[in-house]
Amino acid sequence: MSGLLECEWCLKRSDPRIDKFYSTEVYEKKRVLCADCYYHLKVVWCPNGDY
């Protein structure tokens, strides 16, 4: 482990200095998501932000 951050949705780990991560509220809890999951959740699945 060398400082890799884990996406709380897809559990993929990557370096936050290289890949963008987002903090957003999912299921009433603030979670850290990778950019892919963040956009899937926000745009594709729940365009209105209702998960």
Partner 1 sequence: MDQTDRIIILWFARAFLLYFVVYVIAVPAQSACIVENQGDIVYLGETCDVSKVVGWGGQFAYFSSGYPEETPTKIVDVNGFMYKHYINPEKYVVGSWFKWDGKVEANGNQLAFVVKSGTRPNVTIINITPNSTTTISVPNSTPFNSKMQFIIARGENLNYIYSNKGQYDGKGWMWLFEGSNEFLGMPMDYNSLGYHFNFTSKITQSFSPDSYTGYIQLAGYNKKQDVFYSPDNSLKSVYVDVKPINLKDYSYLQYEEKFFGMATDKNYSDDIIIPLQIEIKDPSITISDYYEQNDILIVKGKTTLSLGTNISCIVDPDHWVTRKEKADNTYTVEVTGDIDKERDYVVSLPLKWGELSIGEHTIRLIGDNGALNIVQDKEFWTSDVLSQTTQRPDYTKVIYDEYGVHSITSPPTPTPTVCPITTITTIVTPVPTITPINITQTITVAPVVPTKKPTPTMINVPLDPGLGMLAIGFIILWRRK
Of the candidate residues 27, 28, 30, 50, the single one contacting partner 1 (CB under 8 A): 30
**Which tokens in the block code for residue 6?**
């884990």
Minimum distance between the CB of residue 31 and partner 1, rounded to whole angstroms?
A: 7
Question: What does DSSP assign to residue 7?
Answer: P
Of the candidate residues 6, 9, 36, 40, the single one contacting partner 1 (CB under 8 A): 6
Of the candidate residues 10, 12, 23, 51, the single one contacting partner 1 (CB under 8 A): 23
Q: Are 38 and 31 in contact (CB under 8 A)?
A: no
Instruction: Determine if 8 is a binding residue for partner 1 (CB under 8 A).
Output: yes
The C-alpha atoms of residue 51 and residue 47 are separated, in whole angstroms, by 9
